Amino acid sequence: MEKLSGASMVVRSLIDEGVKHIFGYPGGSVLDIYDALHEKSNIEHILVRHEQAAVHMADGYARATGDVGVVLVTSGPGATNTITGIATAYMDSIPLVVISGQVHSHLIGNDAFQECDMIGISRPVVKHSFLVTDPRDIPAIIKKAFFIAASGRPGPVVVDVPKDCMNPEILHDYQYPEDIAMRSYNPTTSGHKGQIRRGLQALLAAKKPVLYVGGGAVISGCDSQILALSEKLGIPVVSTLMGLGAFPGTHPNSVGMLGMHGCYEANMTMHNSDLIFGIGVRFDDRTTNNVEKYCPNATILHIDIDPSSISKTIKVDIPIVGSAEKVLDEMLKQIEANDYGISDPTANDHWWSDIAKWCGRKSLAYQKSAEKIKPQQVIEVVHRLTNGDAYVTSDVGQHQMFAALYYPFNKPRRWINSGGLGTMGFGLPAALGVKLAKPDDTVVCITGDGSIQMNIQELSTALQYDIPVKIINLNNHFLGMVKQWQDMIYAGRHSQSYMDSVPDFAKIAEAYGHVGITISDPAQLEAGLEKAFAMKDKLVFVDIHVDETEHVYPMLIRGGAMNEMWLSKTEKS
């Protein structure tokens, strides 16, 4: 049998797992792994400028491809810097394996230099974690880590490796396991057939049904099944922020994004429905508003692979535990076998005319101006110039909502944002990870002057590895979403939300070796963006000065039902 050191086993296990990219940053306790990595050139390692960004890059990579993202960092601060990234991935169920160095086994617990209890500090935000105690376990632990990260409801897994377990002088037998069986971990994937039949009967009997799709639909890859179900039975589809793209945004059956900043028609459709079919959603507070007033007439049918997501906040009438793809396949099979839905294509006509009425309210309409660029307008131009087919990452705030509302996504995995944790600083590193995975596609990072400064140092990584993404900075010199809340709830007292001394971003981009463009005149917007997208091989930072008074609407009214929204600064639903 082949003999390898612990450090070489880490690298070989990753190669045998099929890993192509690692995002990381070296340091004392992982130098043996880095040395082993230096000898093997068939994995590309991306050296970041901050460990948090390494995790976001791996995360973006995982979101765009569905593969497991891999991170390698050192002990202590290297490990703690990954926590925000790990929590971001955990909240959105993104598969990652994060390998962290640890001090020597005999020093653990001694407050040694660069020691931190990584297993302890990451515990609430990981799907699982492993502390290596014997180097011979490394191949099996890495195999398990990838299996756990990618299966069931995906999530991040930490593998903490003490320095002595990597010792290059001591060799052990190496064999990468082909399969792994764990008696305590065996996620259910195919749903209960009886429950699926019950669910389908309820769906067919409903007069005002709606499909409510979320991030789980993207993860399970059931977009073609949702399309078939919606078209066969004539059912409208609303999407969460995380579900955008699981159903084509420009399809006539798409009613748009629901929730806190969802469009009027989507929230009204939910509130007035008599059956909500949740597919890979978790009924979180941003999509339900006040649970006491939640969709009063609706029967709730819910597919999720994680049983704990079912009836967590909203009581579900017909739960189905399983992978959305497999459950919907079975449902479509039952529809096919019984010729359901084809006999009366007009059954839901009344429902559709209600929806048409709500769409007529045009809740996303806005006023353009000759003096100031509107943020909504920027997104619309970006959509047009990229033919609606770019990978779009975002940070967190107003720009994120504008991107979600004004860039309709027709394919899953194209919209990449931190929906659950709401992590500012996610957008740029995530975009770099996406571009590495999809080098031939256009990758756009929609950001703001607040968010971009939380990981702007990654412009340096982008130059080193020549990763030509496009950064669209909706610059309003404010923390826009904070300001919006202060305008609406705190009588316009802008406490600490104004960013004085915002830098010249175009010059910063240039200083990092990229192209910077500044646009502030609405008449120059189209031409400026065209120029940016024409430079296919360059990272272009487009700093766009937008109207700082603009708010994101609609906005659900706090404590209200889903039909209670602000539609503009002065108008309520």
Smallest separation, CB 149 to other proteins (Å): 11
Binding residues for other proteins, how many (CB under 8 A)? Answer: 21
Q: How many residues does the chain have?
A: 573
151 vs 190, beta carbon nearer other proteins:
151
Residue 524: active-site member: no
Q: Is 177 in the site for other proteins (CB under 8 A)?
A: no
Tell me whether residue 163 is one of the annotated catalytic residues.
yes
Name the residue nearer to other proteins (CB basis): 308 or 495: 308
Q: Would you call 196 helix, strand, or coil by DSSP?
A: helix
Min separation Cβ 461 and other proteins, Å: 33
Please choose, out of 179-187, 254-262, 284-292, 360-368, the segment that lies near other proteins by the rule CB under 8 A. 179-187
Active site residue 51: yes
**Which residue stretches of 179-262 are H helix?**
193-205, 215-220, 223-233
What's the min distance (Å) between Cβ of 323 and other proteins? 16
Tokens 């569905």 belong to residue: 66
Which of 23, 51, 102, 225 does the annotation list as catalytic? 51
Tell which one of 198, 251, 312, 531 touches other proteins (CB under 8 A).
312
Q: Are 413 and 432 in contact (CB under 8 A)?
A: no
Contact 94, 69 (CB under 8 A): yes
| Contact assessment for residue 475 and residue 448, using Cβ atoms and an 8 Å cutoff | yes
Residue found by looking up tokens 């991107």 in the block: 403
533 catalytically annotated: no
* Residue 53 beta carbon to other proteins: minimum distance, rounded to whole angstroms: 26
CB of 173 to other proteins, least distance (A): 23
Residue for token digits 């189905």?
Answer: 320
Q: Which stretch binds other proteins (CB under 8 A): 85-93, 167-175, 218-226, 307-315?
A: 307-315
The tokens for 137 are 């376990």
Helices (H) and strands (E) in the chain, counts: 21, 22
Q: Which of 195, 311, 334, 568 binds other proteins (CB under 8 A)?
A: 311
Q: Where does residue 325 fall: left (phi above 0), alpha (psi -120 to 50 degrees), or beta otherwise?
A: alpha
Is 427 in contact with 479 (CB distance < 8 Å)?
no
Q: Which residues pair with 45 in a beta bridge?
A: 22
* Member of 16, 306, 317, 548 binding other proteins (CB under 8 A): 306
Torsion of CA 263, 304, 178, 180, to 10 degrees: 140
Closer residue to other proteins (CB): 17 or 306: 306
* Residue of 2, 3, 44, 113 marked active site: 113
Residue 526 backbone dihedrals phi, psi, to 5 degrees = -60, -50
- Indicate which residue of 163, 208, 326, 438 is catalytic: 163
Smaller CB separation from other proteins, 291 or 511: 291
SS (H, E, C) 425-453: CCHHHHHHHHHHHCCCCCEEEEEECCHHH
Is residue 218 within 8 A of residue 242, CB to CB? The reply is yes
**Catalytic (active site) residue 505:** no
CB of 120 to other proteins, least distance (A): 7
Per CB under 8 A, which of residues 97..156 are in contact with other proteins?
119-120, 123-124, 127-129, 131, 133, 148
* Cβ nearer to other proteins, comparing 123 with 494: 123
Name the site residues for other proteins (rule: CB under 8 A): 119-120, 123-124, 127-129, 131, 133, 148, 182-185, 306-308, 310-312, 315
Looking at the annotation, which residues are catalytic? 51, 113-114, 163, 481
